């Protein structure tokens, strides 16, 4: 079974990278697995970033690591559901 970590999203960097409250596998920068969003100065960048921020910015999330890329942890990220 893959370990998952409960974290809070502290910052949305862009449409596919967030900073979480404490590191997961050596990095607090998390690249969303399977997501490829526009980079700065590309069309759609701000919309993508704002969309991700509205969904998980400041929220509790489950982070399930799947790898590493450029010093960031690559992970599946899911918002914690309210009961």
CATH number of the domain at 25, please. 2.40.50.90
Residue 44 domain boundaries: 5-79
Nearest to 2 by CA among 69, 79, 82, 74: 74
Contacts for 28 with CB less than 8 Å, ≥ 6 apart: 10, 19, 20, 21, 22
Prediction pTM value = 0.92
Q: How far is residue 55's CA from residue 62's CA, in Å, rounded to a whole number? A: 14
Q: How far is residue 43's CA from residue 49's CA, in Å, rounded to a whole number? A: 12
Q: How many domains does the chain have?
A: 1
**Which pLDDT score, from 0 to 100, does residue 2 have?**
80
The values of phi and psi at residue 47, to 5°, are: -65, -45
Over residues 23-76, the pLDDT tens digits come to 999 999 999 999 999 999 999 999 999 999 999 999 999 999 999 999 999 999
- Band of pLDDT at residue 1, cut at 50, 70 and 90: low
DSSP state of 54: H
């Amino acid at each position: 079974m893959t370990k998952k970590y409960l974290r809070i999203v502290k910052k949305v960097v862009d449409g596919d990278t967030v900073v979480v409250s404490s590191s997961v596998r050596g990095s607090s920068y998390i690249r969303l697995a399977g997501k490829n969003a526009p980079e700065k100065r590309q069309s759609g960048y701000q919309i993508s970033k704002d969309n991700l921020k509205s969904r998980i910015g400041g929220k509790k999330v489950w982070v399930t690591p799947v790898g590493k890329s450029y010093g960031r942890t690559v992970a599946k990220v899911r918002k914690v559901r309210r009961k």
